[in-house]
Amino acid sequence: MSVMLEGLPDVTAGRLEVEDYLRNFSDLHPPLTRHEAFVESDRCYFCYDAPCMRACPTSIDIPLFIRQIGTGNAEGAAETIFASNILGGMCGRVCPVETLCEEACVRNEAEDKPVKIGFLQRFATDTMIDAGEHPFRRAAPTGHSVAVVGAGPAGLACAHRLALHGHDVTIFEARQKAGGLNEYGIAAYKAVAGFAQREVDFVLSIGGIRMETGKVLGQDFTLGELRRDHDAVFLGMGLGGVNALGTEGEAAGGSHDAVAWISDLRQTVELGGLPVGRRVVVIGGGMTAVDAAVQSRLLGTEEVTVVYRRGQPDMKASRFEQELAQTRGVRIMHWAKPHRLHIGDDGHVRGIELERTRLEDGRLVGTGEFVSVAADMVFKAIGQTFVPHALDETGIALTGGRIAVDEEGRTSLADVWAGGDCVAGGEDLTVAAVQDGKVAAESIHRELSAFVARQTAPVEA
């Protein structure tokens, strides 16, 4: 171990040439050309009661939109998509389709090659967003106002649907930019060219939505105030915290929370200026772990090791994500968990000591066997948590540390709805957050409409 502790930690910026950054962080999948889209659209069988559609959390009418692409009606296709999923543009880029719509595609049965639904969805939605159009017109103003907390996928989807129905919406967003993890979390190569912001602009172009950035619930205002000033409130605050490793040395220099680091990366314009270690270890087995590992490699890290405490099939990152990591030269080490960080005299990490693991009667246990891996940076990506402080003293019910909701997104408070990552029982996917926001908006709309109906009903004698 002494060998590892010698020398200075190697964390520097500008490991690569300027053009390498451009290439590495370009579009993971270049968009389909018009011709490719035509050819691919012809592969869709226009299934009856299509299995893909059932597998899409937002129930996009996939056979219809693909047929519309095939008939040269990409804008109509876009409208079909946006009618079910206003963030269809981002979803087409980031959905783990291999476990959603494309997994269900009947083309798998015969040839293991699903229709490229995600790519086609992107093709169609790009057509409309690039043209600067918006497919829907707001209904006449209802006079109701709704507050939405958080401008992530859940908040945006909810706000759009409410605005569509004619309600006035104000979004309160803690960060300086709207978009939530679309802007601060999704891997850079999945949403290039400022797409997250373009999509936010597209969503807001429906009108009737006021965006208040830099406004933090629990700091700048309280839930009580929101409930007082608005007819309904939707909470789409995502997950503010991360799980702790609970190991020695966690606070040392060079030890990072992967989500925060990715967020910095996403906000860095000149990636050559972002420091990264020569050797990086990432702890975790989900999408965040893979994204941190791959993006480190793309920034010029020589050795990246993902350490996961269980076996390959248990990893939450999809098969596709795992393959992506491997083809980008990331080493994945299974059945090992962090024991402690090796810290140099300067207080900076030099490596990590891991304990081998195995299953014993279905329980994960350490084997007592230890290995060390040298590292100039360590990322922890072992899960995010909901931070309920902002809701302290509101009496809102939580389950498993997240907000408890019914199937319409209602919380325990009468006029408060919630959705996205911050609610219990979710899938922690962009598309799932969009669906939550949409469902909650419809529920709020029904509630507000019923309220109006009650107010205006003739009084019975």
Partner 1 sequence: MADLRTDFLGIKSPNPFWLASAPPTDKAYNVVRAFQAGWGGVVWKTLGEDPSVVNVNGPRYGAIHGPDRRLIGLNNIELITDRPLEVNLREITEVKRDWPDRAIVVSLMVPCEETSWVSILKRVEETGADGVELNFGCPHGMSERGMGSAVGQVPEYIEMVARWCKANTRMPVIVKLTPNITDVRYPARAAKRGGADAVSLINTISSIMGVDLDQMAPSPTIDGKASHGGYCGPAVKPIALNMIAEIGRDAETAGLPISGIGGITTWRDAAEFMALGCGTVQVCTAAMTYGFRVVSDMIEGLSRWMDSKGYTSVDDFVGLAVPKVTDWQYLNLNYVTKARIDQDLCIKCGRCHIACEDTSHQAITHLVDGRRHFEVIDEECVGCNLCVNICPVEDCITMETLPPGAIDPRTGIVVQSEYANWTMHRNNPMSVTSQQFAAEPVVLPGE
Ligand X SMILES: Cc1cc2nc3c(=O)[nH]c(=O)nc-3n(C[C@H](O)[C@H](O)[C@H](O)COP(=O)(O)OP(=O)(O)OC[C@H]3O[C@@H](n4cnc5c(N)ncnc54)[C@H](O)[C@@H]3O)c2cc1C
Positions that interact with ligand SF4 (CB under 6 A): 44-47, 50-52, 56, 58, 60, 62-63, 66, 85, 88, 91-92, 95, 97, 100-101, 105-107, 115, 117-118, 121, 431
Q: 429: helix, coil or strand?
A: coil
DSSP character for 13? S
Cβ 17 to partner 1 shortest distance, Å? 39
Q: 261: helix, coil or strand?
A: helix
| From 262, 281, 382, 418, residue interacting with ligand X (rule: CB under 6 A) | 262
- Rank residues 37 and 158 by Cβ distance to ligand X and give the closer one: 158
Q: Are 217 and 392 in contact (CB under 8 A)?
A: no
Contacts of 134 (CB under 8 A, 6+ apart): 128, 202, 205, 206
- Rank residues 9 and 114 by Cβ distance to partner 1 and give the closer one: 114
* The length of the chain, given as a count of residues: 461
Dist CA 380 CA 190 (whole Å): 21
| From 4, 14, 38, 212, residue interacting with partner 1 (rule: CB under 8 A) | 38
Q: Does residue 424 bind ligand X (CB under 6 A)?
A: no
Cβ 101 to ligand X shortest distance, Å? 12
Q: Which stretch binds partner 1 (CB under 8 A): 33-41, 170-178, 292-300, 386-394?
A: 33-41
| From 94, 124, 332, 374, residue interacting with ligand X (rule: CB under 6 A) | 94
- Rank residues 50 and 290 by Cβ distance to partner 1 and give the closer one: 50
Residue 364 touches which member of ligand SF4, ligand X, partner 1, none, C-beta under 5-8 Å by kind? none
Dist CA 427 CA 406 (whole Å): 15
- Rank residues 49 and 361 by Cβ distance to ligand SF4 and give the closer one: 49
Q: Are 390 and 367 in contact (CB under 8 A)?
A: no
Residue 77 touches which member of ligand SF4, ligand X, partner 1, none, C-beta under 5-8 Å by kind? none
How many alpha carbons lie under 13 Å from residue 431 in its C-beta half-sphere? Answer: 23
Backbone torsions φ then ψ of 385, nearest 5 degrees: -130, 155
Cβ 18 to ligand X shortest distance, Å? 25
Dist CA 345 CA 367 (whole Å): 30
Q: CA distances (Å), 134 to each of 28, 88, 153, in order? A: 26, 13, 18
| From 97, 105, 149, 377, residue interacting with ligand X (rule: CB under 6 A) | 149
For residues 76 to 115, the per-residue mask of contacts with partner 1, x marking binding by CB under 8 A and - elsewhere, is ------------------------------xx-xx-----
Cβ 67 to partner 1 shortest distance, Å? 11
Dist CA 201 CA 439 (whole Å): 22
| From 6, 19, 49, 345, residue interacting with partner 1 (rule: CB under 8 A) | 49
How many alpha carbons lie under 13 Å from residue 28 in its C-beta half-sphere? Answer: 22
User: Given phi > 0 = left and psi -120 to 50 = alpha, else beta, which region is 16?
Assistant: beta
Q: Does residue 45 bind partner 1 (CB under 8 A)?
A: yes
| From 163, 211, 352, 429, residue interacting with ligand X (rule: CB under 6 A) | 429
Q: Which stretch binds ligand X (CB under 6 A): 8-16, 36-44, 120-128, 234-242?
A: 234-242
Residue 121 touches which member of partner 1, ligand X, ligand SF4, none, C-beta under 5-8 Å by kind? ligand SF4
Dist CA 272 CA 20 (whole Å): 9
Residue 31 is encoded by which pair of tokens?
Answer: 């968009």
Q: Does residue 240 bind ligand X (CB under 6 A)?
A: yes
Which residue is associated with the tokens 């040839």?
A: 111
Strands (E), 217-348: 232-235, 241-242, 255-257, 276-277, 279-283, 303-307, 331-333, 336-343
- Rank residues 34 and 389 by Cβ distance to partner 1 and give the closer one: 34
Sign of CA dihedral 158, 266, 251, 297: positive
Q: Are 307 and 354 in contact (CB under 8 A)?
A: yes
Residue 288 touches which member of ligand SF4, partner 1, ligand X, none, C-beta under 5-8 Å by kind? ligand X
Which parts of this chain interact with ligand X (CB under 6 A)?
Answer: 94-96, 149-155, 172-175, 180-181, 185-186, 190, 216-218, 236-238, 240, 259, 262, 287-288, 291, 390, 420-422, 428-431, 433
Which parts of this chain interact with partner 1 (CB under 8 A)?
Answer: 35, 38-39, 41-42, 45-51, 70, 106-107, 109-110
